[in-house]
Chain A
């Protein structure tokens, strides 16, 4: 079965490649249409016209756009994503430097969202046929209407300013240092055994995680609730009850595995939204990740950085779709002999 899953995953990943190539072409084309001059942006404002021309020649900007794309693609395959005009260093280095922070944020937010979503869904479901269920569903709808950045601002107001429980910007207490090993602050702190730093990092990441996660969780609650209601109408649930299984055994032993399937698909397909949500949330919390970098790159028309980050967004979305497929395959035996 593991081989079958690996095969599914491999097939999915292979299917991603052409999609990914098309996305690079689209993004590349769109960025070249912008009325900005990458050559000028990559030189100090004091550069002479000759210097700009020379730079333009060197960057290949005089050639037709498809040739430019070929140059970029050749470089990208070799790991060279060009030079960031704003930092004057390799784009790959700039992006990789910020990537772990965002991944950490997104993974934490995902865990939070799934935890709260599944927990909330189960809670609302277990209150079925009472007033509490209706109340729960109304609350879910209300939270669903709030976008992540608005939640972020609300959290800052309530938990950062009115009741200052959580810090509202940065990744770590000022003055605190964690030697970089993996780039993931929480993991690095644990690796060095610095628990004070770990808790500080946890403390700092809490609000952005809650804002991102809470924006995603109501959808999970709704889908899980609806899916459970549907599952409970199936005959095997009644049959389990007739064998004398308790309510808890039926919910966790029989129903949940079947009811989780739509949730898995939902998380897989909507993960892109969560990742994209980091853009505004990171900016609001001055969280030094990809989102913040992207906003800055857009402000300074740092095209190679915009390109690189767009591709990361695209890759994560596609990757999580494939992971969800593999997980669905794992959960549903009927898919396996299809």
Chain B
């Protein structure tokens, strides 16, 4: 084999016990000091790669064919003990959720020193010194004090630094980073990505970077492999795949991702969902064909092989050169911004929220969650709220829907004073859609009864036939097939569930819809479906939207105006294009810079 590779995955196949394949014929190679990105949506099998390398595949899954070579050794032929010895020593891992990746009952110092002992530091003093040195290297302040802290005392960003320090402590040949920034705030994400790039440079480590985020992959990686339904559909230099993709799927993903700059086009919508391992077994053609805008009869009958199109750029498509022809859906005539009504749906003046906290001695402390908010939302207007965790976004939502009391200032919702009007007067006028589509739906009720749940709170009940008609109308509004009405929520995909949530919110014809991070748990292609749905509904139904999101591009894509929140205050507000193109407040500038993508150190 080639001496030039650190990791070489050859024709890897991972199957369920039933024989259904999770990964199929995957070939990947990473050269020393390079970053290989693996891009895929959930269900594509990208996380299985890391598990296969570490031999931690979930129960019921096994490598059924192929091999994994690491640094001249064949991992798949080694015994468990020698293979385990490589982990943490020659292969490091950076996890997705730093908050839960360290043992909560042991100090940071205990955990890192234990790791350092394992990789060969003999004395306690040398371990401590090395830990401090590593912490300084990853940019943690007061490293010596950190050793005595417990994980819950640190923020997510700090914990991720600790974990990165541990991953690179042994100068590993390979580091596997599985969505290392997904759980972090935008500005922290940026710093973590830069840190990984810098650590890779200084330790001359190869990185396998697993992500669902195209933009991020373009910034971080040298090479990229796009995974779809367990197969690699395209691989090549990162820039090329993002800018000139040779596979329709890569192109579609690109078109489905909202941008923060450039013209505001409609997002590409991929029909249907990725085939499950079960469905793949019976497919004879290309797995992407059922959703591909370019598919022809040949695509359904014969599967294209991964072939080199240009030097170093492979694609598994019968017509790779046609990929560029896929254009975003045209902005149709009715997409003109609807005229806004003159009525105020939301009006906040000097709005504030303070919580009272008691400590164990009963002393009361006032914590101000929100200070002096002044903003308004007009009828039919779509307004975004952006801000990081702890900025007070959720407190504001809770106040608007009446789950929290107003402690200072005034808040008028749909023309009524929130503080003095009885709560039930708002129920039909304001509706809320949550982040997690699954847990917001009662698993024991049919979709039909869930969608019209709001009717049950009314005095006069509609007849069964009327209710049925309403279900059909609501499902049609969110573009779900009518037969969904009789199913249960666990029979739907994540995107479909979120549509059900939106339909349920629309049941009472609300004047204001609050969408709290409704796309942040969803895949790019599903996110595009939901965002486009919101835009369609705007023309059709007519309501005001308050869209809370950490993703600036999402807000830009859907909203007219945006509020930027930081530490309980609105630091900037205005039309989306103005705010994001020409941010005034330093915090907004920081957010925009982070979202536009970093200039990665050393490249």
Residues of A within 8 A of B (CB): 129, 234-236, 238-246, 253-254, 257-258, 331-334, 337-338
Q: How far is the CA of A337 from the CA of B85 in the complex (A)?
A: 37
Contacts of B106 in A (CB 8 A): 254, 257
Q: How far is the CA of A129 from the CA of B118 in the complex (A)?
A: 29
Contacts of A238 in B (CB 8 A): 56, 95
Answer yes or no: B524 CB below 8 A from chain A CBs: no
For this complex, 25 residue pairs linking A to B, each with C-beta atoms less than 8 Å apart, are A235-B101, A236-B100, A236-B101, A238-B56, A239-B95, A239-B102, A239-B163, A241-B54, A241-B56, A242-B56, A243-B87, A243-B166, A244-B87, A244-B88, A244-B118, A245-B88, A253-B114, A254-B106, A331-B105, A332-B104, A333-B107, A333-B150, A333-B152, A334-B104, A338-B360
Q: Pick the residue among B93, B100, B103 that contacts A254 (CB under 8 A).
A: B103
B205 to chain A, nearest CB (A): 15
Contacts of B154 in A (CB 8 A): none
Give 6 closest A-B pairs by Cβ, nearest first: A244-B87, A243-B88, A244-B88, A242-B93, A235-B100, A333-B150
Q: Is the Cβ of A236 less than 8 Å from the Cβ of B103?
A: yes
Q: Pick the residue among A244, A258, A334 that contacts B86 (CB under 8 A).
A: A244
Answer yes or no: B115 CB below 8 A from chain A CBs: yes
Q: How far is the CA of A338 from the CA of B153 in the complex (A)?
A: 11
Answer yes or no: B585 CB below 8 A from chain A CBs: no
Q: A239-B95, A243-B166, A337-B153 in contact; A258/B103 too (CB < 8 A)?
A: yes
Q: Pick the residue among A234, A245, A257, A334 that contacts B150 (CB under 8 A).
A: A334
Contacts of B97 in A (CB 8 A): 235
Among A235, A242, A253, the most chain B Cβ lie within 10 Å of the Cβ of A242
Answer yes or no: B89 CB below 8 A from chain A CBs: yes
Contacts of A245 in B (CB 8 A): 88, 118
Answer yes or no: B59 CB below 8 A from chain A CBs: yes
Q: Pick the residue among B100, B115, B152, B153 that contacts A243 (CB under 8 A).
A: B115
Answer yes or no: B298 CB below 8 A from chain A CBs: no
Contacts of B163 in A (CB 8 A): 239
Answer yes or no: B84 CB below 8 A from chain A CBs: yes
Q: How far is the CA of A94 from the CA of B163 in the complex (A)?
A: 62
B164 to chain A, nearest CB (A): 13
Contacts of B56 in A (CB 8 A): 238, 241-242
Q: Is the Cβ of A257 less than 8 Å from the Cβ of B105?
A: yes
Q: Is the Cβ of A244 less than 8 Å from the Cβ of B104?
A: no
In chain A, what residue has the closest Cβ to B114?
Answer: A253
Q: Is the Cβ of A239 less than 8 Å from the Cβ of B93?
A: yes
Q: How far is the CA of A239 from the CA of B360 in the complex (A)?
A: 35
In chain B, what residue has the closest Cβ to A242?
Answer: B93
Interface string of B53-96 (1 = CB under 8 A from A): 01010010000000000000000000000001111110001010
Contacts of B87 in A (CB 8 A): 241-244
In chain B, what residue has the closest Cβ to A237?
Answer: B103
In chain B, what residue has the closest Cβ to A11?
Answer: B360
Q: How far is the CA of A242 from the CA of B89 in the complex (A)?
A: 10
Contacts of A257 in B (CB 8 A): 105-106
Contacts of B102 in A (CB 8 A): 236, 239
- Known A-B contacts: A236-B100, A242-B93. Give 12 more (CB < 8 A): A239-B102, A240-B103, A241-B54, A242-B87, A243-B87, A243-B118, A244-B85, A244-B87, A254-B106, A258-B104, A333-B105, A334-B150
In chain B, what residue has the closest Cβ to A241?
Answer: B56
Q: A244-B87, A244-B88, A333-B150 in contact; A234/B54 too (CB < 8 A)?
A: no
Q: Pick the residue among B59, B93, B152 that contacts A129 (CB under 8 A).
A: B59
Q: Is the Cβ of A244 less than 8 Å from the Cβ of B84?
A: yes
Q: A241-B56, A243-B93 in contact; A236/B118 too (CB < 8 A)?
A: no
Contacts of A129 in B (CB 8 A): 59
Q: Is the Cβ of A258 less than 8 Å from the Cβ of B54?
A: no
Q: Pick the residue among B59, B86, B101, B118 that contacts A239 (CB under 8 A).
A: B101
Interface string of B146-178 (1 = CB under 8 A from A): 000010110000000001001000000000000
Contacts of B360 in A (CB 8 A): 338
Q: Pick the residue among B54, B104, B118 that contacts A333 (CB under 8 A).
A: B104
Contacts of A331 in B (CB 8 A): 105
Contacts of B89 in A (CB 8 A): 244
Q: How far is the CA of A290 from the CA of B114 in the complex (A)?
A: 49
Which residues of B in the span 119-165 have a Cβ within 8 Å of any Cβ on A? Answer: 150, 152-153, 163
In chain B, what residue has the closest Cβ to A338?
Answer: B360
Q: How far is the CA of A240 from the CA of B85 in the complex (A)?
A: 13
Q: A129-B59, A235-B95, A253-B114 in contact; A242/B105 too (CB < 8 A)?
A: no
B243 to chain A, nearest CB (A): 34
Q: How far is the CA of A146 from the CA of B281 in the complex (A)?
A: 52
Q: How far is the CA of A334 from the CA of B89 in the complex (A)?
A: 30
A258 to chain B, nearest CB (A): 5
Q: Is the Cβ of A234 less than 8 Å from the Cβ of B84?
A: no
Q: Pick the residue among B88, B100, B103, B114 that contacts A242 (CB under 8 A).
A: B88
Q: Is the Cβ of B88 less than 8 Å from the Cβ of A334?
A: no
Q: A258-B105, A333-B150, A334-B150 in contact; A246/B84 too (CB < 8 A)?
A: yes
Q: How far is the CA of A115 from the CA of B150 in the complex (A)?
A: 29
Contacts of A234 in B (CB 8 A): 100
A189 to chain B, nearest CB (A): 39
In chain A, what residue has the closest Cβ to B178?
Answer: A242
Contacts of A239 in B (CB 8 A): 93, 95, 101-102, 163
Contacts of A337 in B (CB 8 A): 152-153
A237 to chain B, nearest CB (A): 8
In chain A, what residue has the closest Cβ to B360?
Answer: A338
Contacts of B93 in A (CB 8 A): 239, 242-243
Contacts of B59 in A (CB 8 A): 129
Contacts of A244 in B (CB 8 A): 84-89, 118
Contacts of A242 in B (CB 8 A): 54, 56, 87-88, 93, 95
Interface string of B564-600 (1 = CB under 8 A from A): 0000000000000000000000000000000000000
Contacts of A243 in B (CB 8 A): 87-88, 93, 115, 118, 166
Contacts of B85 in A (CB 8 A): 244
A256 to chain B, nearest CB (A): 10
Q: How far is the CA of A338 from the CA of B97 in the complex (A)?
A: 23
B198 to chain A, nearest CB (A): 22
Contacts of A254 in B (CB 8 A): 103, 106
Q: Is the Cβ of B54 less than 8 Å from the Cβ of A332?
A: no
Among B97, B102, B105, B118, the most chain A Cβ lie within 10 Å of the Cβ of B105
Contacts of B86 in A (CB 8 A): 244
Q: How far is the CA of A5 from the CA of B115 in the complex (A)?
A: 30
In chain A, what residue has the closest Cβ to B163?
Answer: A239
Q: How far is the CA of A39 from the CA of B97 in the complex (A)?
A: 72
Q: How far is the CA of A333 from the CA of B151 in the complex (A)?
A: 9
Q: How far is the CA of A334 from the CA of B114 in the complex (A)?
A: 21
In chain A, what residue has the closest Cβ to B93?
Answer: A242
Q: How far is the CA of A246 from the CA of B97 in the complex (A)?
A: 22
Contacts of B114 in A (CB 8 A): 253
Contacts of B150 in A (CB 8 A): 333-334
Contacts of B100 in A (CB 8 A): 234-236
Q: How far is the CA of A236 from the CA of B100 in the complex (A)?
A: 6
Q: How far is the CA of A75 from the CA of B163 in the complex (A)?
A: 63
In chain A, what residue has the closest Cβ to B152?
Answer: A334
In chain A, what residue has the closest Cβ to B86?
Answer: A244
B555 to chain A, nearest CB (A): 30
Q: How far is the CA of A331 from the CA of B102 in the complex (A)?
A: 16
B291 to chain A, nearest CB (A): 33
In chain B, what residue has the closest Cβ to A332?
Answer: B105
Q: How far is the CA of A129 from the CA of B59 in the complex (A)?
A: 10
Contacts of A332 in B (CB 8 A): 104-105
Q: How far is the CA of A234 from the CA of B115 in the complex (A)?
A: 19
Q: How far is the CA of A258 from the CA of B106 in the complex (A)?
A: 9
B391 to chain A, nearest CB (A): 24
A50 to chain B, nearest CB (A): 60
Contacts of A333 in B (CB 8 A): 104-105, 107, 150, 152
Contacts of B153 in A (CB 8 A): 337
